[in-house]
């Protein structure tokens, strides 16, 4: 509540700074701030891109881990490794891997004859896609485990009945597996979208919003306004706008859950 109220003041950094109520002045200023709205656009691209790719990769991995394969237990344990690592550690590890001079990714590309001098995190064209890939890798475990739990709860009788009726593997996946997973898919993708939109530590350590603001997420922009420029009230107003956006996501999720229960 205090953070919300702060967005309606002119609070700034400084000893003995006088704080006064300024109504909607921060929001009027924010409405004309193209840099913030550009960061907002980048944040939506990041959130939807990571969430979509994360879901597809996690679904494929969950289907693989659901098979009765050798060393399945080891594979499931390895799939959880990113979940056990703090975002800062993940970011540092990937910074080393994506290093243009000695990173193993560029080294591998040189080995197979591709250009091996790409500055993944420092180029305008590759920074955001590279950060999205890291975000997908970092967030896959929870999505994979959730989908795997859902797959194990799909009644085997449904697949057997569909197979007896002559349905192939793809047909059974599309008409049996996916409908059974629908509530879980809606829940995990909505939560992933909210978590990804709120991302801070991973991107902050990877690029700090660079190069040239190409990976400047809204949380990073608000952080800079608050702790680099001392505009606490203005940064709080940005946070309030982001809370409204997240509330919209939550409303759509809860409405979807209510409709699925009724149906």
* Host H or E run for residue 59: helix 34-65
Q: What is the pLDDT of residue 262?
A: 66
Between these two residues, 166 and 186, which has the higher pLDDT value? 186
Q: Are 138 and 206 in contact (CB under 8 A)?
A: no
| Span 111-117, average pLDDT | 84
Q: How many CB atoms lie within 10 A of CB 48?
A: 14
Decide if 162 is inside a domain: yes
Q: What is the pLDDT of residue 248?
A: 85
Decide if 106 is inside a domain: yes
Helix (H/G/I), strand (E/B), else coil: 9: strand
The whole domain housing 133 covers 25-262
| Span 69-91, average pLDDT | 86
Decide if 19 is inside a domain: no
Decide if 242 is inside a domain: yes
Percent share of the chain, pLDDT over 90: 54
pLDDT digits (tens, 9 = 90+) for 134-147: 999 999 999 999 99
Its pTM stands at 0.89
Please tell me the distance from the alpha carbon of residue 55 to that of residue 139, in angstroms, as a whole number: 9
Decide if 16 is inside a domain: no
Decide if 111 is inside a domain: yes
pLDDT digits (tens, 9 = 90+) for 158-183: 777 877 777 777 888 888 888 889 88
Q: How many CB atoms lie within 10 A of CB 191?
A: 17
Q: How far is CA 53 from the centre of its chain?
A: 10
Decide if 2 is inside a domain: no
- Residue 67 pLDDT more than 90? no
- Banded model confidence at residue 260, pLDDT cuts 50, 70, 90: low
Decide if 109 is inside a domain: yes
Residue 72, domain CATH: 1.10.3720.10
Tally of domains within the chain = 1
């Amino acid at each position: 509540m205090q953070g919300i109220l702060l967005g309606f003041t002119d609070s700034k950094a400084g000893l003995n700074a006088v704080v006064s109520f300024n109504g909607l002045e921060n929001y009027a200023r924010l409405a004309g701030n193209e840099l913030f709205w550009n960061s907002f656009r980048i944040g939506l691209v990041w959130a939807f891109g990571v969430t979509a790719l994360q879901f597809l990769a996690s679904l494929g991995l969950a289907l693989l881990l659901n098979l009765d394969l050798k060393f399945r237990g080891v594979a499931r344990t390895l799939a959880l490794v990113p979940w056990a690592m703090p975002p800062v550690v993940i970011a540092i590890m990937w910074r080393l891997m994506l290093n243009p001079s000695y990173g193993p990714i560029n080294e591998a590309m040189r080995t197979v004859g591709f250009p091996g001098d790409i500055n993944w995190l420092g180029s305008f064209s590759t920074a955001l896609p590279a950060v999205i890939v890291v975000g997908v890798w970092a967030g896959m475990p929870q999505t994979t485990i959730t989908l795997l739990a859902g797959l194990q709860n799909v009644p085997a009788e449904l697949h057997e009945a569909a197979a007896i009726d002559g349905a192939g593997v793809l047909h059974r996946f599309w008409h049996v597996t996916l409908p059974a997973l629908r509530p879980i898919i809606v829940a995990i993708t909505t939560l992933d979208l909210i978590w990804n939109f709120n991302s801070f530590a991973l991107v902050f350590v990877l690029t700090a919003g660079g190069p040239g603001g190409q990976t400047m997420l809204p949380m990073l922009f608000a952080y800079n306004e608050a702790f680099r420029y001392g505009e606490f009230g203005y940064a709080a107003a940005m946070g309030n706008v982001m809370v409204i956006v997240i509330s919209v996501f939550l409303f759509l999720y809860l409405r979807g859950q209510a409709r699925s229960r009724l149906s």
